[in-house]
Homo-oligomer: A and B are copies of this chain.
Amino acid sequence: MPSVGIVSPQSMHFAEPLPLRSGAALSDYTLMYETYGTLNADRSNAVLICHALNASHHVAGVYADNPKNVGWWDNMVGPGKPVDTDRFFVIGINNIGSCFGSTGPMHVNPATGKPYGAGFPVVTVEDWVRAQARLADALGIGQFAAVMGGSLGGMQALAWSILFPERLRHSVVIASTPKLSAQNIAFNDVARQAILSDPDFHGGDFYAHGVVPRNGLRVARMVGHITYLSDDSMAEKFGRGLRNGDLQFGFGVDFEIESYLRYQGDKFAEYFDANTYLLITKALDYFDPAREHGDDLAKALAVTRAKFLLVSFTTDWRFSPERSREIVQALVSNRREVSYAEIAAPHGHDAFLLEDPRYMNTVRAYYERIWNELDQREAA
């Protein structure tokens, strides 16, 4: 399957302060983004892709100087792919607070001349969406054909439909939830406590100390990673397989799963920023559009005007199908147009990033429909 090929990240600086839900504001900020495909004459074929916890604006293709760095949703976005870049103008965007180029904790706070560190304001899904909307303004995109994301990205797609109901025709919400459960929050807090209590965290100012809270990040990633996989897929992939043929009777590696998770943790600790991890888990925890509507999700979604595709995966115990169904029910009670697919997939939450024909075909068919609507608009 062809890819979008070599891509280049772009950045845009916004000098106007961004007021945040917390009451704080970012005085100015930069957003990193990538685009694939071509914006049509009436600017109606734009699709915004929102990223989840550890991803970025690099959704598809590769970089000229790093052909191994393939975009995180390259199987989904490209020429002839479910989100077809021969038809759609696709934007991948990196959120503020991230460690992949948009203004984040490792950048210099203009007010102090030092890195933000732990002083970076706590940002929310809604703040991200408002920042994204300004990029859309700057690109001259009044209305997206679709805003789409998985997991935390799905929350952004949902928030778009609430905050800017007229600015998207479709909201594609995959493997997501209207709010985290107590168990979800608990796992996030374990990860945060691991980071916060690492002596190398230095209250978030580890940049100045030339260290990284590697151990904390490693444990955070390990516990997170467990929740992305299903019990069954871990059993199938690793089972009780031993790394060295026999039990070691020590505290090194006995089981393959230990080796795998520690490797994932180590790798993550090398590239991910600890302050960003804290920020992004808080954004996850805080997302709860129904809260200000007396916990009535239907009320929160009453303002929406988009059409919706929701997709969930049967073995996703992090954001189970039940959570997607809550969104579907709330939308249906508002008489919104909703398509919903519950994909029988063994891979747990990670399934939203993986190749699965039923999943891919569901998204493909939905974008066919978006394309056909677009055609009719142009014909009209």
Contact = CB atoms under 8 A, between A and B. Distances in A.
Interface of A: 21-24, 118, 121-122, 179-183, 185-187, 189-190, 192-194, 196-199, 215, 218-219, 222-223, 226, 229, 231, 234-235, 237-240, 247, 249-251, 254-258, 261-262, 265, 278, 282, 285-286, 288, 291
Contacts of A197: 215, 218-219
Contacts of A186: 222, 226, 234, 257-258, 261
Contacts of A185: 240, 255, 257-258
A182 B255 contact: yes
17 contacts: A21-B249, A118-B251, A122-B250, A181-B234, A181-B240, A182-B255, A183-B231, A185-B258, A189-B255, A193-B215, A193-B262, A194-B219, A197-B218, A219-B219, A240-B291, A254-B285, A254-B286
Nearest to A184: B231
A247 to B, nearest CB: 6
A24 B247 CA distance: 13
Contacts of A250: 122
A240 B182 contact: yes
B239 A182 contact: yes
A250 B265 CA distance: 25
A185 B254 CA distance: 10
A125 to B, nearest CB: 13
B193 A265 contact: yes
A224 to B, nearest CB: 10
7 smallest beta-carbon distances between A and B, as pairs: A197-B215, A22-B249, A182-B234, A122-B249, A182-B257, A182-B238, A189-B258
Contacts of A257: 182, 185-186, 189
Nearest to A225: B186
B240 A179 contact: yes
Contacts of A256: 182
